[in-house]
């Protein structure tokens, strides 16, 4: 009765009410009765969602990421480190044209195929220098390069310059480095000996023109990261890459130090093998006498 009264009141005020909007309670009850109800045994409980202890859960197999070495270098890793990004086209050096893939939004893009080839060549040079007993000097003085320069030098038992290149370090090494060298134990009055590096790795050559000129005067080969704003003809072994990316420079320094360390390990193995051969020859010689 109340629903009919409300309907008549709404119709008298000019409101149109659909007849099908008011559903009788009998149809609702019929729908409720038509839906099958689950039994108490089939009801979902929080305890039923937890798997029993006897079931074996599948474990995710995570493959360990192999460290970057000269043997597993790829263009994808070089691109992930941001080595393909060059400088603005307004700072472009024409000598870097063979290493440039193209331009995008006013920025030169470096062809990483050339970067991979030149980086592998530099790794071979560092390996051979270490194999022959040479010393390697790492130079990196930009903010953010100091720590990775020291780590790369220590990893391959090399030397490093991470604060500032003192003019005359190579051309006037007896005065610049002589005061820091240990005196000769046999003759303390004799000036201490100083040595030149056999290879120099410069991570930011744009700020080390003096170091480059001193190395050229002393005939020391140089491995350097050459960006699109630097002439690669100034160094012996250029690596066309982005010298502003800390991740990219760290990758190159780590790869070069790993190659140098491989040369050291190979040299140690060869020396041990020669010592064993000498001992065998001595034993044979001593046994032939008797």
| Residues 152-196: tens digit of each pLDDT | 999 999 999 988 898 988 988 888 887 777 777 777 677 777 888
Radius of gyration of the chain (CA): 37
| pLDDT tens profile 63-113 | 666 677 888 889 999 999 999 999 988 888 899 999 999 999 889 999 999
Dihedral Cα 247, 251, 252, 256, nearest 10 deg: 150
Using alpha carbons only, give the angle 237, 251, 64 rounded to the nearest 5 degrees: 140
Once rounded to an integer, what is the mean pLDDT over residues 11-29?
47
Give the integer Cα–Cα distance in Å for 232 and 239.
8
pLDDT of the residue at 16: 47
CB 201 within 8 A of CB 138: yes
pLDDT category at 237 given cuts 50, 70, 90 is very high
* pLDDT above 90 as % of the chain: 48
pLDDT of the residue at 221: 95
pLDDT of the residue at 51: 66
Q: What DSSP character marks residue 179?
A: T
- Least confident stretch, 9-18, 60-69, 126-135: 9-18
Please classify residue 164 by burial: count the beta carbons closer than 10 Å to its beta carbon, then call 0-12 exposed, 13-18 middle and 19+ buried: exposed
Mean of the per-residue pLDDT values of the chain: 81
pLDDT of the residue at 21: 46
- Judged by DSSP in three states, 139 sits in strand
Dihedral Cα 265, 267, 268, 272, nearest 10 deg: 140
| pLDDT tens profile 241-289 | 999 999 999 999 999 999 999 999 999 999 999 999 888 888 887 777 6
Nearest-CA neighbor of 138 among 155, 124, 114, 121?
155
pLDDT of the residue at 5: 53
CB 206 within 8 A of CB 229: yes
- Judged by DSSP in three states, 171 sits in coil
Give the integer Cα–Cα distance in Å for 68 and 76.
12
pLDDT category at 25 given cuts 50, 70, 90 is very low
pLDDT of the residue at 46: 73
pLDDT category at 6 given cuts 50, 70, 90 is very low
Q: pTM for the whole thing?
A: 0.73
Residue 149: pLDDT above 90? yes
């Amino acid at each position: 009765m109340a629903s009919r009264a409300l309907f008549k009141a709404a119709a008298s005020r000019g409101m149109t009410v659909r007849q099908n909007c008011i559903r009788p309670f009998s149809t609702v009850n019929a729908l409720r009765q038509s839906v099958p109800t689950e039994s108490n045994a089939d009801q979902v409980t929080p305890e039923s969602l937890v798997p029993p202890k006897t079931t074996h859960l599948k474990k995710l197999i995570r493959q360990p990421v192999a460290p970057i070495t000269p043997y597993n270098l790829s263009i994808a890793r070089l691109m992930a480190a941001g080595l393909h990004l060059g400088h603005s086209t307004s700072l472009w050096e024409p000598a870097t044209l063979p290493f440039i893939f193209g331009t995008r939004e006013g920025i030169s893009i470096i062809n990483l195929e050339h970067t991979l080839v030149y980086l592998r060549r530099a790794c071979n040079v560092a390996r051979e220098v270490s194999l022959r007993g040479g010393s390697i000097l790492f130079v990196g003085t930009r903010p953010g390069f100091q720590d990775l320069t020291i780590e790369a030098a220590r990893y391959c038992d090399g030397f490093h310059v991470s604060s500032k290149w003192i003019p005359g370090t190579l051309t006037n090494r007896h005065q610049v480095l002589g005061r820091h060298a240990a005196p000769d134990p046999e003759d303390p009055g004799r000036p201490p000996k100083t040595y030149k590096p056999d290879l120099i790795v410069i991570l930011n050559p744009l700020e080390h023109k003096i170091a480059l000129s001193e190395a050229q005067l002393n005939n020391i080969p140089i491995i350097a990261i050459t960006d699109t704003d630097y002439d690669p003809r100034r160094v012996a072994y250029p690596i066309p890459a982005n010298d502003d990316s800390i991740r990219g420079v760290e990758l190159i320094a780590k790869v070069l130090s790993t190659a140098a360390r491989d040369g050291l390990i190979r040299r140690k193995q060869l020396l041990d093998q020669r010592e064993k051969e000498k001992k065998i020859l001595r034993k044979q010689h001593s046994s032939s006498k008797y």
